[in-house]
Amino acid sequence: MSRVLSIRTTGLLVAIALGARVAAADPTPSRVLTAPTAWLPPENALLGTATMDHRFDGSVVVGYGLGGLAAVELGTDTDVRGCKACLGDKTPVYLGRAAFRIGARQDAWFPGMPAVLAGVRTTFASSGSFGRARVTEAYLVMSRELGPLRLHVGGSVIDASLRDDELGPTLQPIAGLEWTPSQYPKTTLMGDFAYVPLLEDEATADVTLEWVAGWGVRYQAFPWGAIELAVRHREDEGLGDSTVMVRVNGVWDPTVKPKIARSPR
Amino acid sequence: MKRVTVILASVLVTAAVARAQPVPDVPIPPDTGSGTPDQPPGPGSAEPAQGSGTNAPIPPDIGPADPYPPPPPPKPKKPLPPLYMPEVLTTPTGWLLPAAVLYSKTSLDTGGGVTSDTRVGLGDVAEFGVATTDAVRERTDEVDRSSRIQPYVTASFRLGVAENRLFNGQPGVTLGFRKSFERNHDEFKTRVAELTLVASKHLGKYFAVHVGGAFWDASLEGDLDGDAMTPRTETTLHEFDDPTKHQIRVFGGLEVRPLPRSQILLDLGWAPEFCYSCKLDATEIGLGDDPDSNKIRLKPVLSWGVRYEVARWMRLESGVRLPDIGSANLLDAQIFGQVTFTSWALRRAVDSLK
């Protein structure tokens, strides 16, 4: 009986997946909070994201939609943390990073197909005593709109080095979920899960991975911009040490002409 | 009497003036030739009959010449031939630039590399270019992390036959030679040279494939044994035994065009790496092997990315490059962006002189 229910449930989920309303164009945010999405910006669109947390650390990333097939991003962020004595002194490490993302949109090859994206993000600069830190991640992620839900699932190969220590390519899962209630079409609840390197710059350098889980709310104030309030928890971090942050997203799509209000004759 | 004289004079002057005026417009009957209305004009009747009196046609009224005539309509421009790129991302293609077309590419990557490449097409059968490359790398020893030597200036000359020129279905084929200028870096003097033969073929509207072979040579001169007492020595790639193993490499690439102005590109090429203190030890050395043979090595470079044709004269490319795919080191991955400009101005100028 339970097996029949399971099959029915699976069938129902597949039917929902195939029959879900598909937006005219994919959404644009390249990350839920930390986990990457498979959304690609439109051709020639410019994206901008800025984050500020309660410790006044933050990030700024700009992106460009390349030919409708790919996107390039450039910016700095504090996803990675580092420590010296590593006795509760973990601090965000500012890394200059560039990313290249290539993929296919939802329904591009067959109806019901999720958006699929392969991306590489690597460092070109790092801050302070972590000046020789290098972090590179290559990921494959799928995203799909299922009615009010947006699911993101994938895997990421992460490698990082600090001085002479190197993590080595490590495969980890990434996941994200977004829900836009029909009663509040401009509001989206978000949650995600990903892994990031932790740089321990002690007498001997050590590089490990720690998980990061985030949740928050996005309010799509304008067609071209949204504001988010989110909380981020990390492994080996007490609840009081969680990071509260505000993020703003903007997109400028030159193919979308501004609507001009016409007075009735 | 005086009044009569005045009246006569007025009449005469008025008559004279009236006579001087042209005849009023009289509708001219259509020219039916010199024959009668019942008889069509014969072959010899095209010329008007001289002295035929009233039968002579009235010449058309040609007005004075317009001092400001409208300019002649512009000559229709010849459609420009298609322009196929001479490089996939890092490897050469079997396509040449059209004659007198200028090409300039500037590239930037996250490893700090800045390169440029300038070319000109020669007569639809050749191409000349000068470039700076950051593909040549160096390291001190086996445990050292390799770094690029830049700028490394090269000159290139390629000649070939365009696709479908000799027979239908023939791939584009080019024979290219690229040679670097001598580069002094860290008290070592290096040079590289590359001879390539590559064929490129479109497979339908959306695919193209490139396959080629390269014959490399490189030289390294300096204090190779690390002993300041001995004089500087030079080692070259062609001195090593088994040139097939050390000098010949196969490279290739793929192009897919899923959207009219966007292409996905993938290529695999090779780049030299100099290792100043590397030496084969007794366990690695084989029969006939040169102990210095790992001072110059060719490393495989894998690149993939997207080319977007912003305009006919401008293309943006971006992607990922792995400088040594053999070591599978993800940390060495570089994100690059490059912009390519092409110009037909010289071609038009040359055409206008013909």
Residue B245 has a pLDDT of: 81
Query: Average pLDDT in the B277-301 region?
Result: 76
Q: pLDDT tens digits for B175-207?
A: 999 999 988 877 889 999 999 999 999 999 999
Cβ pair A100:B264 closer than 8 A: no
**pLDDT > 60? residue A102:** yes
Q: pLDDT tens digits for B241-266?
A: 777 788 999 999 999 999 999 999 99
- By C-alpha distance, the chain B residue nearest A120 is B320
CA distance B77 to chain A (A): 29
Phi, then psi, of B31 in degrees rounded to 5: -75, 110
Share of chain A above pLDDT 90, in %: 66
Cβ pair B337:A72 closer than 8 A: yes
- Confidence category of residue A185, pLDDT binned at 50, 70, 90: very high
ipTM above 0.95, yes or no: no
Chain B contacts of A123, Cβ < 8 Å? Answer: 110
Residue B238 has a pLDDT of: 86
Residues in chain A: 265
CA distance A226 to chain B (A): 28
**pLDDT > 60? residue B224:** yes
Tokens of A201: 């710059």
Q: pLDDT tens digits for A62-95?
A: 999 999 999 999 999 999 999 888 877 788 899 9
Mapped onto helix, strand or coil, the DSSP state of residue A17 is: helix
Residue A17 has a pLDDT of: 39
- Matching residue, tokens 């996250």: B110
A170: contact with B, CB 8 A cutoff:
no
Optimal mutation site among B318, B334, B338, B340, interface A, most CBs of chain A within 10 A: B318
Residue A236 has a pLDDT of: 83
Q: pLDDT tens digits for B141-171?
A: 888 888 889 889 999 999 999 999 999 999 9
B148: contact with A, CB 8 A cutoff:
no
* Average pLDDT of every residue of chain B: 83
What letter would DSSP give residue B345? H
Residue B32 has a pLDDT of: 46
Q: Which helix (H) or strand (E) holds A18?
A: helix A2-19
Adjacent-strand bridge partners of B127 = B121, B158
Q: pLDDT tens digits for B1-25?
A: 566 676 767 666 665 655 555 555 5
**pLDDT > 50? residue B111:** yes
Query: Which structural domains are found in chain A, ordered by start?
Result: 25-252 (2.40.160.40)
Lowest mean pLDDT among B193-202, B231-240, B280-289, B336-345: B280-289
β-bridge pairing B102-109 and B183-185 = unpaired
Q: pLDDT tens digits for B115-129?
A: 999 999 999 999 999
Tokens of B315: 């293309």
What is the Cα–Cα distance from A202 to A140, expressed in whole angstroms?
Answer: 33
Phi, then psi, of A186 in degrees rounded to 5: -95, 0
Lowest mean pLDDT among A205-219, A238-252, B228-242: B228-242
Residue B46 has a pLDDT of: 39
- Comparing C-alpha atoms, which of A97, A178, A194, A183 is closest to residue A145? A178
Mapped onto helix, strand or coil, the DSSP state of residue B136 is: coil
Residue A5 has a pLDDT of: 45
Cβ pair B330:A169 closer than 8 A: yes
Question: Hey, which of A5-9, B11-15, B239-243, B280-284 has the most confident mean pLDDT?
Answer: B239-243
- Confidence category of residue A163, pLDDT binned at 50, 70, 90: confident
Residue B21 has a pLDDT of: 56
| CB-CB contact of A90 with A82 (8 Å) | yes
**For residue A97, which amino acid is it?**
R
What is the Cα–Cα distance from B298 to B247, expressed in whole angstroms?
Answer: 8
Tokens of B178: 């690229």
**pLDDT > 80? residue A30:** yes
Share of chain B above pLDDT 70, in %: 79
Optimal mutation site among A43, A44, A72, interface B, most CBs of chain B within 10 A: A72
- Matching residue, tokens 């999405």: A37
What is the Cα–Cα distance from B207 to B224, expressed in whole angstroms?
Answer: 47
**For residue B161, which amino acid is it?**
V
What is the Cα–Cα distance from B172 to B158, expressed in whole angstroms?
Answer: 12
Q: How many CB pairs below 8 A link A and B? A: 73
CA atoms within 13 A on the CB side of B262: 19
**pLDDT > 70? residue B57:** no
- Comparing C-alpha atoms, which of A114, A116, A158, A109 is closest to residue A136? A158
- By C-alpha distance, the chain B residue nearest A108 is B258
Tokens of B7: 């009246």
CATH architecture entry for B102-353: Beta Barrel (2.40)
- Confidence category of residue A101, pLDDT binned at 50, 70, 90: very high
Residue B276 has a pLDDT of: 87
A99-113: string of b/e by CB count within 10 Å (b at 16+)?
bbbbbbbbbeeeeeb
**pLDDT > 70? residue A181:** yes
Residue B284 has a pLDDT of: 63
Residue partners of B297: CB distance under 8 A and separation at least 6: B272, B273, B275
